[in-house]
Amino acid sequence: MLSLYKQCIHVLQNNIDLLHEVGGVPFDILEPVLECCTPKQLSQVEDYNPTFIKLADHLWERHCQREFQNEQRQDDESWREMYFRFFDQKEQKLKTLTKNIILSQSKKPKGRQIQTAYVQGMAKPARDLKGHPENRGSSRVPFNKPSKKTLGNRKINDSGKDSVAAGNTSVSGRSQQDGKKMKKIAPMMAKSLKTFKNRIGPWQSRF
């Protein structure tokens, strides 16, 4: 079973963000809690308890060795000061890099952009689409006014029918005339028939 002290330390380690001013609690008691702090959390605790700044310098040494292990500390510079110096440089480099990226992207030519504007919500589909919900309930048959092109085609068709009818009439007339011509008897045949009738007699020609 854990002692009361260890239970309290365990609770504080799980709620470091809620740790502010500790009053007269010695640094040695809270050191196990501060060892679990991130640089931001440790800086927050030091802001509420300035007396911990000098006492927690070895904790800043751990953060420097973890994040800036290839860097050197200057003369008369604490580990805390070293950490914030390189941290500020890192943030400045990041801001400069971000600014350069944004600037380079803005200089690039923009491609073709299609913007669709909708008035009063979603765009309505075309009315001539079959099976659309808006057209399913309508029982009216739309009346399409004939265009000039359609009327022109009708005139052409009507005139075509008239020409065909006229052609048929002329053909029938020609056939009748041909029939009359075919009924006409040749002159020699007519003369021979006349001679034959005269020999038989008028009384026999009636039969």
* pLDDT tens per residue, range 95-132: 999 999 998 888 777 666 556 555 555 555 556 555 55
Separation between Cα atoms, residue 134 and residue 140, nearest integer Å: 13
pLDDT at 115: 60
pLDDT at 166: 46
C-alpha distances out from residue 114 to 105, 110, 118, Å:
19, 12, 13
**Which among 46, 4, 41 has a CA at the least distance from the CA of 27?**
46
- pLDDT lower than 70: segments of the chain: 110-186, 196-207
Q: How many Cα atoms occupy the beta-carbon half-sphere of 169 within 13 Å?
A: 6
pTM of the model: 0.50
Categorise residue 201: left if φ over 0, alpha if ψ from -120 to 50, beta otherwise. left
